[in-house]
Amino acid sequence: MRKTTTKLADGRELIYYDRDESASRDVRDRRPLDPTASRAEVRRDPVLGDWVTVAAHRQARTYHPPADECPLCPSQGERLSEIPAADYDVVVFENRFPSLAADAAAHLDAAHPAPGGGPGQELHLTRPGVGRCEVVCFTADHLASFADLDEAKARLVLDVWTDRTAELGALPEVDQVFCFENRGAEIGVTLAHSHGQIYAFPFTTPRTAKMAAQANEHRARTGRNLFEDLLAAERADPARVVLTGEHWTAFVPFAARWPYEVHLYPNRRVPDLTELTEPERAEFPGLYLELLRRFDRLFRPATQSPERPLPPTPYISAWHQAPRRSGAELALHLELFTIRRTEGKLKFLAGAESGMDAFVNDVSPEAAAQRLREIAT
C-alpha cells in the first residue's frame, strides 16, 4: 500500500491510498477555497451524563448534489471536486463540515461564549469540540457500492481503517476512533457516492460507555470477559449464526434491536483494528463482502421487474473499538444493520425507541438469521 499525503486548497489534509506502489499523486487542488473554521463544542447532558456535540456550522454542508456535481468523484477537466486527481483507489480527507476539528478551540471566541455564569452553572459543562472527522471514499466509481468491490479493494479499505485508527488514536485529545458507513437515502445519506466516515472523539461515546459498564460488571461477577463468553455462546448454539470462518464469526444478536442486524467478531478478542493479525485481515474481506451482498438480496422479489428495480438495502456498518481510557474489557467488532423491515417498509424510531430508548423489533433474531443463511450465493 502506498500512502501519499497532500493538502487541499483550504488547508485540509487529503491522503491517497494506492495498491500501485508507483502511483504519482502530485495534482494540486485548483479550487478557490477559503480556510475552514469549526466552532464545534461538546456539552455534557447533566441528566444522562452523555456528551453531546453542537456544530451549528454544519447546516451549510453539501446536500444531495446532482451526480455531475458530486464532490467525491475524481476531478475531470474544469469540474473540480474534493479529490484533485483524475482517478483513485481509496482517498481519505478531512471533512469540510466537521462535527469535531483540531482547531475548534481557536474559533470559540467571544461571539460564541460557553454557557454558564448564572444559577446552575455547575450543570452546564462544556468544552471545545476538539477531535477530527474524516471522509473515506471507497471507490472512484460513482455508481458502485462497497459490495461491488473485489476482495483486494476491500482489503485496502480495511488497511486504511487500520492506518487511520492508529494515527488518530495517537492524538492526545482523542479517546475513541469510530469508523463507519451510512448507505442509502433512507438512512440520511446526503452524498450518494460510496463512502464512509471516521470520527475521532475526545470522549468515550455513550454506547461504548454502556458496553464497558456491562463488561466490567460481568468481569466482577464471573471473573471472565463478557465478549469472549458471548461469542462462545453464539458459536455453541448456531441458531443465530450467519457466517463462520477460521478467524471470524457473524451472528444475529440475541436481543437484536433492528429487523436485520448482524455482528461480526474476530474469534480472538482484540481491542481495535491495529491488533488484528495478517490471517485475520486476509479472511475479513470475503466474509464482509458476502454479508453486504446478502443484505442487498434480503428484499429482492423472486421476479424483479427491470423497469422497477428494487433500491439497494439501506444500512449502517459500524466498527466498535475500545477507547483509550476505559476499554480494557471491550472487544473489536463490526455491527451491520438495516432499517428496512420488509419490502417497501422501513422501521422508524418512534415513541418507544426515540423517547425511551426501548426498542421493539418486528423480526425475531432467529428468523432473521435463518433468512440471511437462506440467501447465500
> Residue 216: exposed, middle, or buried by beta-carbon count in 10 A (0-12, 13-18, 19+)?
middle
CA–CA distance, 373 with 367 (Å, rounded to integer): 10
Model pLDDT, residue 38 = 80
Q: What does the DSSP assignment read for 4-71?
A: EEEE-TTS-EEEEEESSTT----PPP---PPPP----EEEE-TTT--EEEE-GGGGGS--S--GGG-T
For residue 135, count other CB atoms closer than 10 A to its CB. 21
Q: Which residues contact 108 (CB under 8 A, 6 or more apart)?
A: 39, 41, 114, 128
Amino acid (one-letter) located at 151? E
Domains 2-203 and 207-374 share a fold: yes
CA–CA distance, 285 with 137 (Å, rounded to integer): 17
3-state SS class at 195: strand
For residue 266, count other CB atoms closer than 10 A to its CB. 23
Q: Which residues contact 375 (CB under 8 A, 6 or more apart)?
A: 294, 297, 298
Model pLDDT, residue 47 = 96
Query: Domain 2-203 classified CATH 3.30.428.10?
Result: yes
Model pLDDT, residue 63 = 82
Each residue's pLDDT tens digit, 78-98: 999 999 999 999 999 999 999
Model pLDDT, residue 60 = 74
CB 42 within 8 A of CB 53: yes
Q: How many residues does the chain have?
A: 377
- The domain limits of the chain are 2-203, 207-374
Model pLDDT, residue 95 = 96
Which residues of the chain carry a pLDDT beneath 70?
Answer: 106-120, 301-310
> Residue 188: exposed, middle, or buried by beta-carbon count in 10 A (0-12, 13-18, 19+)?
exposed
CB 156 within 8 A of CB 188: no
- Of the CA atoms within 13 Å of residue 155, those in its CB half-sphere come to 12
Model pLDDT, residue 265 = 98
Q: Starting at the edge strand that comes first in sequence, how are the strands of the sheet with 126-128 ordered? A: 51-54, 41-44, 126-128
Which of 329, 297, 81, 300 lies closest to 211, judged by CA? 329
List 179's β-bridge partners, or say none: 198
Query: Is 195 an active-site residue?
Result: yes
| Cα distances (angstroms) measured from residue 266 to each of 250, 286, 331 | 9, 14, 9
CA–CA distance, 171 with 190 (Å, rounded to integer): 29
The architecture in CATH of the region 207-374 reads: 2-Layer Sandwich (3.30)
CA–CA distance, 133 with 180 (Å, rounded to integer): 11
Catalytic residue among 195, 218, 320, 333: 195
CB 69 within 8 A of CB 112: no
Helix intervals (H) in the chain: 151-169, 206-222, 226-236, 278-297, 356, 365-374
- Of the CA atoms within 13 Å of residue 274, those in its CB half-sphere come to 12
